[in-house]
Structure formats: C-alpha cells, structure tokens
Structure 1
Amino acid sequence: MQRVPSTITLNVSVSDGVFTSTAQVHIRVERANLHAPQFTQGMYEADLQENAPVGSKVIAIRAQDADPGPFGDVRYVLLSDSARDLFSIDGNGQIKTLERLDREERSEMVLSIAAVDAGGRSGYCSVRVTILDENDNAPQFGASEYHASMRSEVEPGTLVTQVQAWDLDQGANGQVSYSLYSEASMQVTELLDIDPDSGWVRLLDREVQSSYHITVRASDQGVPVRLSSLVNITITVLDINDNPPVFERRDYLATLPEDVAVGTEVVQVYAASKDIGTNADIYYNIRSGNQQGHFTININTGDMHLDYYLRPTFLSTPTMAQNLFIHAYSGQK
C-alpha cells in the first residue's frame, strides 16, 4: 500500500482568458484508526504466593497497536468486577494486588483484560492467577475432646478409639500426622500409642486402673514451620465382674445372752472384690441356718441384727450355738 503523506499542497490557477490568479491549497490528511490493539498472548499464566503483601507484582502483560500517533496509544482495563477489588493494572500493563489473597477461599482466578486505543478499538486477553499455598492453617480436630471406653479384659494390641483432624492447606502443608503429646507420662506411653497416619489409639499393655487420660498432637508437614493442635482423650475402663468377693475372715463369732433385746446388732461381716466400679459393690444375704427367721442382715453393710426374741428352746445344739451361712456377691442386687 502506498504511504500517504500527512499534508498535501496543491497549486490552483484560475483564468478568464485575460487575467490569471493563483493560490495554494494545503490539505491535512487525518490518519484512520485501522488497527486494534493486539496482546502478545491470548492467555497469560501467573503464580502468586498466598498472603502476599498488598502491592505485590503479579505479572506484566503487553498489547501493541500498529497505528501511528494517538491511535497507537493503548490503555488497559480490568473487565471483571470482582477482580477490580483485588487487582490493579497500570498503563504499562503491570498487574498488582490490592488485598492479601487466601488460597482456602479461592485457589485460582481468571482475569479478563482489554487493551483500548484512542479510537475506541480494543483487544482482549485473559490472565490465570494461581494462588500458591502457604502453611497458614493448623490441623483442626473433629471434636473439642474425645471420650472412649474399653473392657478391662481386652488384649494388648486392641484398637481403642480413633481421632481425626483436617488441615485446609494443600500438599505437605495439609498432611496430618498424630503423636502422643511429649508431656505424656512414661506410664501412659508404655500402655498406649497412636498410629501416626490413621489416628487410631492402641493398647500396648494392660494395667488395672479405672481410666486413662492422654493428649494427642496433630501436626502438619509444613516447611519450614509445622503447625499443630492438641486434643484430650479420656478412656474409661469398663470392668467385668470376674473377681468374686472374699470375706475379711472365714469365720465370725458372736455371743449373745438369752434375754438379748430384739434389734440388737449381732455382728458385722465384711467382704471385698478386686473388681472396680459397680462390680466392686458388695451385697449380703443369709444363705442358710436362719429357718426361723430370727436374724436379718443389711444387704449393703453386712450388719446382722436380732429380729425376733431369742429363747433357749430355739437353740438346736447342746452347746447352744447357731450356725449361719452368709453369702456375699457383687454386681447388681
């Protein structure tokens, strides 16, 4: 195409056949806006660290317009309404942040950008911004505390309970492992352990006690700093009734005068069990030897009283002795 000069000068003459007049005409050629701005790429890719300070540079983009003069000047416009609150773009195509960005809220954004020349012609591109994870979230347990129970006869190796924690971060920053808190007593760590991957608490050894109290730590694998959370677990041991009561003495002896008053305490028997909890509650009854019903026993305390006036004719042996057999049992009445 032939290049047209910006100014054209014409010499014009006019004549009536006798006289002649001349003049110069200057014509200024206005340039047409023939070209729209063109970006060097249709899609740009940029990575941005999560929580990057306000004003951080994201990427510089560029559009060119082949028109000379004002029609070749380009300005940039962010088209996404939501993006205008988070990013800015200057006359050089440099995109910067206006806020700190949280990857857990949005991990990726696509910005639509226009390049507009002075004649109103425009070109378009997109910028995909990927937010890179920062380890800014500690693992969170599913409960504020855990309660579990196990029977006293369970064997070592038994899985007792499981804890679970989640981390909103990504990759190693969100990978959770479990451990017993370092301040746990040696006694606890010898009896219980926890699988670092699954969070299952396992019995290592069996010891007679009514409950265990442990603290578990959930840690992520963030670099350079690991974040962690703690949770308490209470494990209650459910006793089985496998230890029969044993009397303090095998035989109890009581001596009464024949005119003893009704209601008089005769003797108190006592038995105990190695079980715990309600299985260690002992109850008493008279198994035999009380056919006439002269004696009663307190089911809870083992206190035996005379319940009926005692006469010599009641006594069945020459030694004037009465043998009673007391039964002690544990568990439910």
Structure 2
Amino acid sequence: MDRTMNRQVLLCITLLYFDSVLGQVSYSIPEEMAKGSLVGNVAQDLGLEIKRLMSGKAKIYTRNTDEYIELSRERGVLLVKERIDREVLCTETAICALHFQIILENPMEFYTVTVQITDINDNSPTFEKNEMKFKISESAINGAKFVLERAVDLDVGINDIQNYNLKPTDNFALKLHNNADGNKNVEIVLQKHLDREEQEQISLVLTAVDGGEPQMSGTMLIVITVLDANDNAPVFTQPTYKATVTENSPKGTIVATVTASDADQGSNAEITYSITNTLDNIRTLFDVTKENGEISIIGNIDFEKSRHFEINVLASDDGGLTDSCKLIVDVQDVNDNKPEINIMSKSTVISEDAKLNTVVTMINIEDLDSGENGIVKCFISENIPFTLKTSTNNFYSLVTDNYLDRERSSEYNITVTCSDEGVPSLSSSVTSTLQI
C-alpha cells in the first residue's frame, strides 16, 4: 500500500494581532520513507502561492541540528530529506513527531508545522538473554512463582509485543500481569509437583510475539534444575516501595532499601537481590547491593528526561525460590536550565518611516524546567521606540511602538533578557543592532 495514502492533514490558521500570520499544519507519515518522498503540499494546505514562497525566501527553522524534512519552494511541498527511523528519533516516547517553523520575509511571517512519525513493524521481539536458568526445589508447592525477563520490541502500538507463549506446559503455566504502562510482567507458575528422581532438568521455550503484519517473534530458553528441599520462598515486606529523589543527585546516593525475608535456615535462607528491568535504561541509572537490597544511583538523573521510574527488584534464595517487588521513584525538578533564546528571523536595517507595529525580530523561548522553574518572562531595554509582544507557545515579536527619527538616533542596540521564576532565578539575554 502506498505509504503516502496514510497522510492525515490538520490545518488551523490563526491571525495574530501583529502583522505576522501564525498558521499551523500537521501531517502524519510512516517511518522509513524513501528520501525525496512527499510529506505534504504545504503551500496548498496553508493557502500560500508559490510566488509568495519564492519572494519571501521561505525556509525551515528548527531548533534541532538534524533536519529530516526539507521544503521545495518551487513546488510548495515538504519532502523527506533523510530516512527517518522512529526508534532512533524517539527512543522513549510512543508518540513521535517533528516540530518546526516555516519562515517568510518581506513581510515577516511564520507557520508552525508538525509531522507525526508513525511506526511500522520493522523490529522483532528480542530477549536480553538467550537463556535463563532456575534451581527449584522438588519440595516447591504448587502456585510457586518465578519471574522471567520480558522481551523488548522497539516498535510501538500494535507492532509492540502483544502476547507470550510457553511450551511445554506439563509442570509450569505462564502468567502475565498487565502494568499501567501497557507492558506485561511475565512469570511461570508451578502447577504440577516436581520430582527430582523422575526428571532432574526441565527445558521450556518462552516465545514473545508482536501484533504486526507480518507477525514477528523472539524466543528464550528456560532451563530448570530440580533440587532437593527448599521449603520457603523469600517474601518482601511490601509489594511496592516508594521513594523521592532530586535530579542531579550525586552517584552513590541511596534511594531506598527493599527487604525480603526467608523462613528457611542455612544457605536456603540467604537472599540475593537483583534488578530485572529490561525495557528501559533503569540498570544504567540504578544499582542494588545484592546482599542487603540497598538501591543507589549510578547514573545521571535528569528530570527533563524522566520524571518517574519503576524499578523491578527480584529476591532469590539459594534454593532458587524468588519473590518480586516494585520500587517507584519520583524525580523532583531543580532549576538547572536557563531560558534558551532562539532568534527565528531578524532585520538589521529599518526605514525611519516604518509603520507602528512593524516586526523587526522574531524569537522563540524555551526553558526545559517545569513548574515555576520553566515559567519565563522577557523584557527589553527602556526608552527605545520598540516593544516586545508575545503570542502563543513562547513566541515573541519585537515591533516598533513609536515613530523613528534617524536624525535623533541612527542605531539601536536592543537587548532582550529572559528570566525564569525559579529560586534562584536563571536568565539569558541576546543583543542585536538595528540601523535606521
């Protein structure tokens, strides 16, 4: 099927109170489209003529260094500039989109464009390990649970993992738990008594399947060695633990301690703790001391990247019995990002007979912090015939608010300063020179 038939166009044009026109248009394209593929007829969708694109020197403005979309002024269309891999572009988000502006000059105008990148089934489910080994006592009771590692599929939606299968199922049944984030916890549950004298080793095959077309799958071998008597499994003091940590906390900071106990004695009561997350970067940020369950930071915690972590911890005794718990870590923001001032377009010369509200500079402000730390206010120097007007989405325009007189002043150095409302407040400024 032609991928371009999947494009969906949403157009919304808003006239602002200054001379610029802010238009919005959205497209949806699948990933992996060939270079030069059509994204959309942006001129038609925004109601612009080709000659206006040419005379206005239409160009794409984006804060990102990688440009995946290009504008053809002569045709008035957007084209794929570089092959887009959704899994590389959006590593941690299900919704993936490119955001940029189209800027025109004489007069200055800008339009906002969003291109949503949809997923195709180009990744099969994979397990981090090809094999998992368990040592299980023959005295383990029916209903004993053993946590398995989940598979990873870089695709999203229906193309992500949809189900797991276990074969054979003579002694164990597969049990899946749906999480709030859409993932599944995978366990095998003992449903038939083990007899070491009858069968000392059992091999199972766990298969993960996605819902794409064609369907893809991945497998992992589970090897179970049957041991003599270990009557009690470890039990955590609670199924879910909670902790809070501030971003930029130093490596080595103890976040929390999880605790399990085992009613057995000797080696069967010795508990080892481990982190079992495989779908994310948890194990690059957190570590657990296997002897006592202390969970500490080993990476850089950044609120702007992740505000919430779920750490899955496994407690195993020497006889192979296990229990699992979850540690939920909430990250608190600190004011560690200055407002970023991006000049979208500017003039260096203006006529002294320019009309009031003539736009001379367009800027965009971005502060990666949240809450009051991310609220930004901007201002300019006083006693100059210019003012700063704001529109939606942190866009500002520097416009004339008084008549210009070259004989009085032939040049202005205009400084724009933007400060956030964090404590202490962080600020940035940029200065431009305008000739009359």
TM-score by length of 1: 0.52
Distance 1:93 1:42 in 2: 14
> What is the Cα deviation at residue 157 of structure 1?
5.8
**Are 1:54 and 2:251 an aligned pair?**
yes
**Are 1:169 and 2:407 an aligned pair?**
no
**Are 1:98 and 2:298 an aligned pair?**
yes
The residue aligned with 1:269 is none
The residue aligned with 2:288 is 89
2:343 is paired with a residue of what secondary structure? coil
Q: Give deviations 1:23-75, integer Å, cap 9, x for gaps.
A: xxxxxxxx942222122332322221111011111111112223344323322
Distance 1:163 1:99 in 2: 35
> What is the Cα deviation at residue 96 of structure 1?
0.9
Gap change, CA 1:147 and 1:154, over 3 Å in 2 = closer
> What is the Cα deviation at residue 160 of structure 1?
4.9
Distance 2:343 2:388 in 1: 17
Gap change, CA 1:205 and 1:141, over 3 Å in 2 = same
> What is the Cα deviation at residue 114 of structure 1?
0.3
Q: Return the index of the structure with the highest Cα Rg.
A: 1
Contact 2:345 2:361 in 1 (8 A): no
Distance 1:164 1:192 in 2: 18
Contact 2:348 2:435 in 1 (8 A): yes
**Are 1:212 and 2:406 an aligned pair?**
no
TM-score by length of 2: 0.41
The residue aligned with 1:73 is 270
Distance 2:233 2:246 in 1: 34
Distance 1:40 1:189 in 2: 67
> What is the Cα deviation at residue 231 of structure 1?
1.5
How many residue pairs were aligned? Answer: 200
Q: Give deviations 1:287-325, integer Å, cap 9, x for gaps.
A: xxxxxxxxxxxxxxxxxxxxxxxxxxxxxxxxxxxxxxx
Contact 1:72 1:118 in 2 (8 A): yes
Q: Give deviations 1:202-231, integer Å, cap 9, x for gaps.
A: 4332231255330101212111x2222211
Question: Which AA in structure 1 matches 2:303?
Answer: R
The residue aligned with 1:39 is 236
Question: Which AA in structure 1 matches 2:250?
Answer: P
Question: Which AA in structure 2 matches 1:214?
Answer: I
The residue aligned with 1:9 is none
Contact 1:145 1:233 in 2 (8 A): no
Q: Which runs of 5 or more structure 1 residues have no equivalent in the other structure?
A: 1-30, 238-333
Distance 1:195 1:220 in 2: 17
Distance 1:37 1:88 in 2: 20
Identity %: 31
The residue aligned with 1:310 is none
Match of 1:143 among 331, 336, 343: 343
2:268 is paired with a residue of what secondary structure? helix
Contact 2:303 2:332 in 1 (8 A): yes
1:207 is paired with a residue of what secondary structure? coil
RMSD of aligned alpha carbons: 2.9
> What is the Cα deviation at residue 158 of structure 1?
5.8
Contact 1:104 1:168 in 2 (8 A): yes
Contact 1:215 1:233 in 2 (8 A): yes
Question: Which AA in structure 1 matches 2:386?
Answer: L
> What is the Cα deviation at residue 119 of structure 1?
0.9
> What is the Cα deviation at residue 163 of structure 1?
2.0
> What is the Cα deviation at residue 232 of structure 1?
2.2
Contact 1:43 1:126 in 2 (8 A): yes
Q: Give deviations 1:90-119, integer Å, cap 9, x for gaps.
A: 222221112332223333332221001121
Distance 1:48 1:146 in 2: 43
2:238 is paired with a residue of what secondary structure? coil
